[in-house]
C-alpha cells in the first residue's frame, strides 16, 4: 500500500497554503485535520463529477492516519470504476488504486475550493450555499425514500 | 414707607443725577427707570445701599469693580497733580402719610493720586422732618438706630431685588432667605439676643458669685451643675451643627432634584445601556462561536454527503451479494485449518473432534474456497458503511438544531440592538447627561449622608435629654444647699428671675416664630393665588419648622422646582409682601430688571401682577429698552407716576428730558 495520500504541488503551494494563512472556512491546519480537508476536497470533486489527474504529486497525508476511513475511498473506487465491471471486484482489495482515484477527485475539489475562496469572500455565503446544496441532496437521498 | 427722591453725585457714571418718585395722579404708586445696559440701573440700587449701609450690595464682583468715585473726576484730578473729591448719595424717604420725611446723606471723601484713589472718610447724616420740625442727626449710634428702624440692613434683600435674585429665591442655599427673613422681620432675633445675654449673665456673673460666697460643698455642687450645663450647651451646639448639616443635605438634594427633574431614570438607563452593551458583546461572541460550529458542521457533513452516493452504491452491492449468498459466512479459512490440525474447535470449544465432525469441517473449508480477501474486504466495509449512513441520516436534525440556535442568538442580538438604539437615542436627547448622572450619584450620597446625620442627631438628642435630667437633679441638690445659706438668698433670687425671664423669652420667640410662620405661609399663598395667572394650579404654601418652603400643586405635591421663572419670581414677591405685611414693616419694592429672566409669554402676566401690587405699595422698576417692549408699555403706560429715561453722554448718566 502507498505510504501517503498525495496532492499536487500546485495546491500545496497554492490553495492549501492560502487556507492555512487565511483560515478561510476554518480549513486551516489548526481547525481542520489534513485528512478532513482532503475529504472535503474529495466531496467537492465528487460533486463536480470529474477526476483531474495530478501533475506533480506531493505527499499530503500518511495512509497510516486514514486506515479507519479507507472504506470510504474504496466505495468511491467501487462506484466510479468497479461498478462498471463487477467481475473485477477483487480489485477492491487494491487500496492503492482506490487512493489514486480519490486523489484525482480531491485534486478537482481543491480547484473548486480555490474558486470558492476567490468568489465567495464571505465564508458564511459559502456555508449557506453548501447547506442549501446538502438540503437538496438530503431530500433526494432520504426524504424521497431512496436511502 | 416710600422713597421720595434720590440724588447721586460723582458716583461711578452718575456725576449729578436726581430722581424724584412722587405720588401723582395715577392710582398706582409705580415708577419706571428705563436705561440701556451699562447706563447705571443697578448702580442706582448700589447708591441706595451705599448711602444706607456703606455697602454696594448689588455689585457683580467687588474686586474688579470700578472705583466709587467717578472716573472723569479721577482723571481730571490726576491731570492737575491729584487732590480730594467727594461722592455723595442722598436718599429721601417718607415714613407715613403725615409727611414725615427723613433724608439720609452719605458723603465719602476720596484722595486721588497718580497711582491710587483712596477713601479718606465717609460720613452719614440724617435730616428728620416731622411734626416736631427739622432735626439733623450725625451721631453714629442714633443714625444706626434710625436706619435699623426704617430700612434695616438685614432685610434689604426684601426691599431691593434684581430679577436674578427673584428667580433663585427658593433654590439652592437661598432657603436661608426664608429663615432669616422671618427671624429678622418678626424681630424674633432681638428676643434671642436678649435671652442669650441673660443666660450669659447667669453663667458668668451669678453662678461664680454663688460658688465664691457659699460653702465648699456649694462650690463643688455649683461646679458640677456648671459642668453639666456646659455639656448640655455642647450637645445643643452639636445638634444645631447636625441640623445645619442636615439642612445642607436638604438644600443639595433640592438643588440636585431640580437638575435631574425628568431624568430620574437616566442612571438606570445608563446602567442598562452598559448591560445591553455587554450582552451584545457576549451575544456577538456567541454568534461567532455558533457560526464557526455551523461552518465545521457544514464542512464535515458535506464530506459525508458528497461521498454518500458512492457509499450507497457500494453498500447496496455488498448487501445484494450477501443476500444472494455470494458472500461466504464470516468464518476465516485459517480458523478452519487450525481446527483440522488441532482437532479442537475454537468456535464451540469442543475437544477431540471425531472424524465425522472433522469431515464436516473439511467440506466447509471446500465451500469457502471462493472466500477471498475480496469477501473479507467487503464484509469489513459493510459495518463501517452502515454506521456512516446512520450519521448522515442525522444531518437534518443536527443542522436544524444548530441553525435554530444561531437564529435564536441573532434574534437576541436584534432585540438587544433595538434596545441599545432606543437607549442611545434617549441618552443623546438628554442634555448634559454626564452632569445629570453625577447629580444622581451626588443625590444618593447626600441622601445617605442625611440618614447618617439624622441617626447621629437622635443619639445626640438622647444624650442631651440625659444631661438635662442630670442637670435638673444636681440643680435641685444645689438649691437645697443654697437654701440653707441665708447670705446667698438674694443672688439666688436674681438667678431665678433671670432664668425665668430667659425661659419666657425663649418661649415667646418660638411662639412668635410659629405664629408668624403660619401667618406668612397663609398670606403668601393668598397673595400668590390672587396674582397667579394659572388659576387652581396650586393649592397651598407650606413653610416647615426647618424653613423648608413648599408650594403644593392641586394634588398636594411639592411643585416649587417645576415652576417657571415667572411663577418662582411671583412666589418670591408674594412671600416678600406677606413678610412685610405680617411684620408690619411696610416697605417699598425696588426691582432691578424684573423681567430680564422671564419668558416672553409670562411677561404680560408678571407686569400685571406688579401693577396690582403698586396699588398698595410703592414699586420702582428698572428696564432696558428691549424689555420695555410694546406689550409692557401697553400695561404700564398711564399707570405710572414717574418715568425716568436715562441716557449716557461722554460716559456720564443723565436723565433724558
Complete DSSP assignment for A85-99 = -GGGGGGGG-HHHHH
Is the CB of A131 less than 8 angstroms away from the CB of B311? Answer: no
CA distance A55 to chain B (A): 24
Interface check B619 vs A, CB under 8 A? no
What number is the average pLDDT over the span B188-215? Answer: 86
Confidence class for position B368, pLDDT limits 50, 70, 90: low
pLDDT in tens, A88-117: 888 998 999 999 999 999 999 999 999 999
What is the percent of chain B with per-residue pLDDT over 90, rounded to a whole number? 30
Residue B177: its pLDDT value, please?
62
pLDDT in tens, B47-66: 999 999 988 877 766 667 77
Residue A147: its pLDDT value, please?
43
Is the CB of B395 less than 8 angstroms away from the CB of A134? Answer: yes
| The pLDDT of residue B430 is above 80 | no
- Tell me how far apart the alpha carbons of residues B186 and B517 are, in angstroms, rounded to a whole number: 9
| Residues of B with Cβ-Cβ distance to A32 under 8 angstroms | 296, 299
- Tell me how far apart the alpha carbons of residues B275 and B316 are, in angstroms, rounded to a whole number: 58
Q: Which long-range contacts (CB under 8 A, 24 or more apart) does A47-51 make?
A: A47/A133, A47/B306, A48/A108, A48/A109, A48/A112, A50/A108, A51/A80, A51/A101, A51/A104, A51/A105, A51/A107, A51/A108
Give the position of cell 411639592: B558
| The pLDDT of residue A120 is above 60 | yes
- Which of B567, B557, B561 is CA-nearest to residue B534? B567
Beta strands in B68-192 (DSSP E): 83-94, 101-112, 117-130, 133-137, 160-162
Most confident range, picked from A66-80, B265-279, B370-384: A66-80
Interface check B64 vs A, CB under 8 A? no
3-state helix, strand, coil in chain B (%, to 5): 60, 15, 20
| The pLDDT of residue B171 is above 80 | no
| Residues of B with Cβ-Cβ distance to A133 under 8 angstroms | 302
Which one of A19, A29, A43, A109 would you mutate to disrupt binding with B, by most B Cβ within 10 Å of its Cβ?
A: A43
Confidence class for position B370, pLDDT limits 50, 70, 90: very low
Structure letter (DSSP) for residue B35: -
Where are the alpha helices (H) located in chain A, listed in sequence order? 9-11, 17-22, 34-48, 70-80, 95-119, 123-138
**Grid cell locating B430:** 438628554
- Tell me how far apart the alpha carbons of residues B8 and B91 are, in angstroms, rounded to a whole number: 9
Is the CB of A72 less than 8 angstroms away from the CB of B377? Answer: no
B393 → closest Cβ in A74, A130, A147: A147
Which one of B293, B310, B320 would you mutate to disrupt binding with A, by most A Cβ within 10 Å of its Cβ?
A: B310
- Cβ burial, residue B10 (10 Å; 0-12/13-18/19+): buried
- Per DSSP, what are the bridge partners of residue B65? none
Is the CB of B299 less than 8 angstroms away from the CB of A46? Answer: no
pLDDT in tens, B451-460: 899 988 888 9
pLDDT, greater one: A141 or B370: A141
Most confident range, picked from B13-22, B203-212, B432-441: B13-22
What number is the average pLDDT over the span B13-26? Answer: 88
Interface check B391 vs A, CB under 8 A? no
| The pLDDT of residue B612 is above 60 | yes
Give the position of cell 455488498: B318
- Which of B182, B88, B104 is CA-nearest to residue B143? B104
- For chain B, the average pLDDT equals 85
- ∠ CA B637-B639-B640, nearest 5°, is 90
Distance of CA B452 to CAs B144, B254, B445, B455, B458, Å? 45, 18, 11, 5, 10
Distance of CA A17 to CAs A107, A109, B5, B417, B542, Å? 15, 15, 101, 38, 84
pLDDT in tens, B468-488: 999 999 989 888 888 877 777
User: Max alpha carbon distance in chain A (Å)?
Assistant: 48
- Tell me how far apart the alpha carbons of residues A109 and A27 are, in angstroms, rounded to a whole number: 13
- Which of B631, B619, B629 is CA-nearest to residue B592? B619
- Tell me how far apart the alpha carbons of residues B10 and B117 are, in angstroms, rounded to a whole number: 13
Q: Which residues of B479-507 are buried (b: 16+ CB within 10 A; e: fewer)?
A: eebbeeeeebeebbebbeebeebbeebbe
CA distance A10 to chain B (A): 22
- Which of A3, A72, A14, A60 is CA-nearest to residue A33? A60
Is the CB of A134 less than 8 angstroms away from the CB of B399? Answer: yes
- For chain A, the straight-line distance linking the first and the last C-alpha, in angstroms and rounded, comes to 32
SS3 assignment, position B396: helix
Is the CB of A25 less than 8 angstroms away from the CB of B299? Answer: yes
Is the CB of B373 less than 8 angstroms away from the CB of A90? Answer: yes
pLDDT in tens, B497-542: 999 999 999 999 888 888 888 888 898 898 888 777 777 788 888 8
CA distance B335 to chain A (A): 21
- Tell me how far apart the alpha carbons of residues B295 and B301 are, in angstroms, rounded to a whole number: 10
| Residues of A with Cβ-Cβ distance to B294 under 8 angstroms | 127
A92 → closest Cβ in B296, B301, B374: B374
Is the CB of A40 less than 8 angstroms away from the CB of B299? Answer: yes
- Tell me how far apart the alpha carbons of residues B338 and B503 are, in angstroms, rounded to a whole number: 129
Instruction: Write down the domain spans for chain A.
Output: 4-121
Is the CB of B377 less than 8 angstroms away from the CB of A74? Answer: yes
B298 → closest Cβ in A89, A90, A131: A131
pTM of the predicted structure, to 2 decimals: 0.52
- Tell me how far apart the alpha carbons of residues B494 and B588 are, in angstroms, rounded to a whole number: 45
What number is the average pLDDT over the span A10-24? Answer: 94
Question: What is the 3-class SS of B581-622, one letter each residue?
Answer: HHCCCCCCEEEECCCCCCCHHHHHHHHHHHHHHCCCCCEEEE
| Residues of B with Cβ-Cβ distance to A44 under 8 angstroms | 302, 306
Q: Which long-range contacts (CB under 8 A, 24 or more apart) does A120-125 make?
A: A123/A24, A123/A25, A123/A26, A123/B295, A124/B291, A124/B295
- Least confident among A29-43, A55-69, B129-143: B129-143
Residue A61: its pLDDT value, please?
94
- Tell me how far apart the alpha carbons of residues B171 and B179 are, in angstroms, rounded to a whole number: 13
Is the CB of B307 less than 8 angstroms away from the CB of A31? Answer: no
Residue B33: its pLDDT value, please?
93
pLDDT in tens, B281-330: 999 999 999 999 999 999 999 999 999 999 999 999 999 888 887 765 55
Interface check B638 vs A, CB under 8 A? no
Does residue A7 contact residue A58 with C-beta atoms inside 8 Å? Answer: yes
Residue A144: its pLDDT value, please?
63
Task: Answer positive or negative: Cα dihedral of B611, B617, B618, B623.
Answer: negative
Which one of B293, B306, B312 would you mutate to disrupt binding with A, by most A Cβ within 10 Å of its Cβ?
A: B306
CA distance B299 to chain A (A): 6
Residue A146: its pLDDT value, please?
46
Interface check B319 vs A, CB under 8 A? no
Is the CB of A46 less than 8 angstroms away from the CB of B380? Answer: no
- Tell me how far apart the alpha carbons of residues A108 and A47 are, in angstroms, rounded to a whole number: 10
Does residue B520 contact residue B575 with C-beta atoms inside 8 Å? Answer: yes
What number is the average pLDDT over the span B96-121? Answer: 87
What is the percent of chain B with per-residue pLDDT over 70, rounded to a whole number? 93
Amino acid at each position: 500500500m502507498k505510504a501517503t495520500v498525495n496532492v499536487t504541488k500546485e495546491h500545496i503551494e497554492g490553495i492549501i497554503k492560502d487556507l492555512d494563512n487565511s483560515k478561510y472556512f476554518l480549513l486551516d491546519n489548526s481547525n481542520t485535520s489534513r485528512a478532513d480537508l482532503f475529504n472535503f476536497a474529495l466531496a467537492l470533486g465528487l460533486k463536480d463529477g470529474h477526476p483531474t489527474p495530478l501533475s506533480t504529486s506531493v505527499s499530503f497525508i500518511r495512509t497510516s492516519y486514514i486506515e479507519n476511513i479507507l472504506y470510504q475511498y474504496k466505495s468511491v473506487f467501487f462506484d466510479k470504476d468497479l461498478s462498471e465491471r463487477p467481475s473485477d471486484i477483487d480489485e477492491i482489495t487494491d487500496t492503492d488504486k482506490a487512493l489514486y482515484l480519490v486523489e484525482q477527485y480531491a485534486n478537482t475539489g481543491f480547484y473548486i475550493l480555490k474558486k470558492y475562496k476567490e468568489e465567495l469572500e464571505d465564508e458564511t455565503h459559502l456555508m449557506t450555499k453548501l447547506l442549501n446544496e446538502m438540503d437538496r441532496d438530503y431530500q433526494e437521498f432520504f426524504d424521497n425514500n431512496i436511502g | 414707607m416710600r422713597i421720595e427722591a434720590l440724588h447721586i453725585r460723582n458716583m461711578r457714571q452718575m456725576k449729578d443725577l436726581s430722581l424724584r418718585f412722587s405720588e401723582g395722579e395715577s392710582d398706582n404708586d409705580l415708577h419706571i427707570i428705563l436705561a440701556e445696559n451699562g447706563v447705571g440701573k443697578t448702580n442706582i440700587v448700589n447708591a441706595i445701599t451705599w448711602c444706607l449701609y456703606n455697602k454696594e450690595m448689588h455689585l457683580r464682583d467687588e474686586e474688579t469693580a470700578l472705583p466709587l468715585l467717578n472716573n472723569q473726576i479721577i482723571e481730571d484730578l490726576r491731570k492737575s497733580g491729584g487732590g480730594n473729591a467727594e461722592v455723595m448719595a442722598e436718599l429721601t424717604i417718607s415714613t407715613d402719610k403725615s409727611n414725615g420725611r427723613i433724608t439720609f446723606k452719605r458723603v465719602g471723601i476720596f484722595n486721588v493720586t497718580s497711582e491710587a484713589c483712596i477713601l479718606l472718610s465717609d460720613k452719614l447724616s440724617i435730616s428728620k422732618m416731622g411734626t416736631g420740625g427739622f432735626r439733623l442727626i450725625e451721631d453714629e449710634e442714633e443714625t444706626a438706630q434710625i436706619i435699623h428702624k426704617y430700612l434695616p440692613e438685614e432685610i434689604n434683600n426684601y426691599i431691593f431685588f434684581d430679577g436674578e435674585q427673584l428667580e433663585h429665591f427658593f433654590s439652592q442655599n437661598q432657603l436661608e432667605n426664608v429663615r432669616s427673613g422671618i427671624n429678622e422681620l418678626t424681630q424674633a432675633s432681638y428676643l434671642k439676643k436678649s435671652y442669650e445675654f441673660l443666660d450669659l449673665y447667669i453663667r458668668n456673673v451669678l453662678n461664680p458669685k454663688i460658688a465664691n460666697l457659699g460653702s465648699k460643698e456649694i462650690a463643688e455642687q455649683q461646679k458640677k451643675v456648671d459642668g453639666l450645663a456646659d455639656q448640655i450647651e455642647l450637645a445643643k451646639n452639636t445638634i444645631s451643627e447636625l441640623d445645619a448639616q442636615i439642612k445642607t443635605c436638604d438644600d443639595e438634594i433640592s438643588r440636585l432634584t431640580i437638575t435631574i427633574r425628568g431624568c430620574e431614570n437616566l442612571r438606570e438607563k445608563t446602567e442598562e445601556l452598559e448591560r445591553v452593551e455587554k450582552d451584545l458583546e457576549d451575544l456577538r461572541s456567541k454568534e461567532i462561536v455558533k457560526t464557526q460550529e455551523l461552518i465545521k458542521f457544514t464542512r464535515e457533513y458535506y464530506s459525508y454527503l458528497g461521498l454518500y452516493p458512492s457509499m450507497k452504491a457500494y453498500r447496496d452491492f455488498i448487501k445484494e451479494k450477501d443476500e444472494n449468498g455470494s458472500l461466504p459466512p464470516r468464518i476465516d479459512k485459517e480458523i478452519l485449518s487450525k481446527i483440522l490440525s488441532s482437532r479442537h474447535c475454537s468456535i464451540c470449544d469442543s475437544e477431540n473432534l471425531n472424524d465425522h465432525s472433522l469431515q464436516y469441517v473439511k467440506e466447509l473449508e471446500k465451500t469457502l474456497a471462493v472466500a477471498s480477501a475480496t469477501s473479507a474486504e467487503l464484509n469489513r466495509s459493510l459495518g463501517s458503511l452502515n454506521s456512516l449512513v446512520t450519521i448522515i441520516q442525522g444531518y437534518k436534525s443536527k443542522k436544524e438544531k444548530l441553525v435554530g440556535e444561531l437564529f435564536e442568538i441573532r434574534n437576541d442580538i436584534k432585540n438587544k440592538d433595538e434596545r441599545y438604539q432606543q437607549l442611545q437615542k434617549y441618552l443623546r436627547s438628554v442634555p448634559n447627561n454626564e452632569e445629570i448622572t453625577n447629580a444622581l450619584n451626588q443625590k444618593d450620597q447626600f441622601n445617605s449622608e442625611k440618614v447618617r446625620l439624622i441617626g447621629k442627631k437622635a443619639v445626640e438628642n438622647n444624650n442631651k435629654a440625659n444631661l438635662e435630667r442630670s442637670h435638673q437633679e444636681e440643680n435641685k441638690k444645689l438649691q437645697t444647699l443654697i437654701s440653707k445659706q441665708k447670705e446667698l438668698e438674694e443672688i439666688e433670687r436674681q438667678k431665678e428671675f433671670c432664668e425665668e425671664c430667659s425661659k419666657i423669652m425663649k418661649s415667646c420667640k418660638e411662639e412668635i416664630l410659629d405664629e408668624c410662620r403660619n401667618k406668612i405661609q397663609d398670606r403668601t399663598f393668598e397673595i400668590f393665588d390672587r396674582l397667579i395667572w394659572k388659576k387652581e394650579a396650586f393649592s397651598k404654601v407650606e413653610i416647615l419648622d426647618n424653613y423648608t418652603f413648599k408650594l403644593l400643586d392641586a394634588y398636594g405635591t411639592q411643585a416649587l422646582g417645576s415652576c417657571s421663572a415667572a411663577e418662582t419670581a411671583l412666589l418670591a414677591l408674594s412671600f416678600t409682601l406677606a413678610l412685610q405685611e405680617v411684620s408690619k414693616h411696610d416697605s417699598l419694592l425696588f426691582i432691578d430688571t424684573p423681567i430680564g429672566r422671564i419668558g416672553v409669554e409670562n411677561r404680560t402676566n408678571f407686569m400685571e401682577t406688579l401693577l396690582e401690587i403698586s396699588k398698595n405699595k410703592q414699586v420702582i422698576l428698572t428696564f432696558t429698552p428691549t424689555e420695555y417692549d410694546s406689550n409692557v408699555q401697553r400695561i404700564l403706560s398711564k399707570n405710572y407716576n414717574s418715568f425716568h429715561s436715562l441716557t449716557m453722554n461722554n460716559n456720564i448718566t443723565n436723565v433724558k428730558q
